[in-house]
Amino acid sequence: MTALETSVATIRAGRIRRARRRTIASLVLAVLLVVLAAAMLMLGNTFYTPAQVWGVIIGQDVPGASFTVGTLRIPRLIAGILAGIAFGVAGSTFQTMLRNPLASPDVIGITSGASAAAVLALVVLHWSAGATTALALGVGIATAVVIYLAARGGESTGGRLILIGIGIGAMLDAVVQFLVQRASEWDVAVAMRWLTGSLNGVQPDRLWPLVAGVVVLVPVILAVSRGLRALELGDASATALGVSVSATRVILIVAAVALACVATATTGPIAFVALLSGPIATRVVGPGAPALLSAGLVGACLVLGADLIGQFAFDTAFPVGVITGIIGAPYLLFLLIRMSRNGGSS
C-alpha cells in the first residue's frame, strides 16, 4: 500500500470513528431526553404510572390524569423541549459563526431585546400570545441588526459584537426594569415570573409560535450548516471553498435570532441554556462538523432537567431559569477567567 493510500485510509477511518461517535452521542442524548420527558409527565403532586400517561397521550379518558397530564404537564413538556432546542441551536450557531464561546443570544443582548418587547406587550399593551411573539421577534431582530451594524468592520468584529451586545443588553434590561416599576401589582407578578424564565402556566395557544419557529427555522439552519463549518475557517477560506459568506451569514443570523426570540417570547429568557448547550454538545460528540442538532438535544435536556430540579429538589419550587442560572453562572465566570489568561482568545 502506497503512502497516499495509507493516508486516505487513515482519513477515512477517522471520519468513520467521528461519525460513529456522533451517532452514538446523539442517540444517548435522545434517550436521556425521553427519560426526562417521562419523568416530567409522571411526577408531580400526584404520581401517574407510565400506563396512565400513555393512555392520556393516545387519547383515552383516564380519570384525573386526563386533566393533569393532558392539560397541565404535556404543554409544559412541549414548551421545555422546544425552547431548549431553540436556545441550544441558536446559541451553538452564534458561537460557531463568531468563533467565540461567549457569543450566545443571552450574553450579547438579543434576548434582552425580545424580553423588553415581550414585557411591553404583557404589562402595558396586554396583547395576545401571537402579537407578543411577533413584537418580540421584530424587536429581537432589530436589536441584532443594530449590534451587527455597530460592530462590523475591522479585524475583531466578533469581539466588538460581544462587547457592544453586552452594553445594549444592559440598556434594554434597564428598560425592562422601568416597565416593571410602572406596571400594576398584578402585571408585575406576571412579568417577574416570566422574566426569570419559567414553564409554569404555559397554555397550548402560546405554543404555536414556538412550534412553528422550531419546525421552520431549525431545518433552515441545518441546511446551511456546511457554510457554517466553512465560516469557522474565516471569511477568506470560506469564500475559497465556494461559500457565499454574506448570504450564509445573513441566513444564519436571522434564523438564529428568530429562534431565540420565539423561545424567549414563550418561556421567558431561560438563563444560560444558549451559552451552555454548544460547548457541552461539542464535548459529547467530539470535534468535526458543528454539533447543532446535538446542541438542541442538550438544550432540551438542560431545560427539562433544570425544571425537574426546580420542582422537586427543594422545599420551595423554583422556576427553571433560576436553576439554569445557578448552573450557568460559574461556567460564564470560568470562560471569562480563561479568556483573560489567554489574552482575550477563547
Instruction: Report pLDDT digits (tens) over 220-236.
Output: 999 888 777 777 777 67
CATH of the domain at 229: 1.10.3470.10
* Residue 117 belongs to a domain: yes
Residue 199 lies in a domain: yes
210 touches 266 (CB < 8 A): yes
Number of domains in the chain: 1
Q: Residue 346: inside a domain, yes or no?
A: no
Residue 259 confidence class, pLDDT cut points 50, 70, 90? very high
pLDDT at 8: 63
- Using one digit for the tens of pLDDT, what is the confidence trace for 14-70? 677 777 888 888 899 999 999 999 999 999 889 999 999 999 999 888 888 889 998
Residue 249 covered by a domain:
yes
- Provide mean pLDDT across the span 95-116: 85
Question: What pLDDT is recorded for position 290?
Answer: 64
* 278-307 pLDDT per residue, tens: 889 988 887 666 688 899 999 999 999 999
Query: DSSP per residue over 220-271, as a string?
Result: HHHHTHHHHHHHTT-HHHHHHTT--HHHHHHHHHHHHHHHHHHHHHHH---T
272 or 130, which is more confident: 272
230: in domain: yes
Q: Are 289 and 275 in contact (CB under 8 A)?
A: no
Distance set, CA 257 to CA 108, 201, 246, 301 (Å): 11, 25, 16, 21
In a domain? residue 333: yes
pTM: 0.90
Domain span including residue 223: 3-341
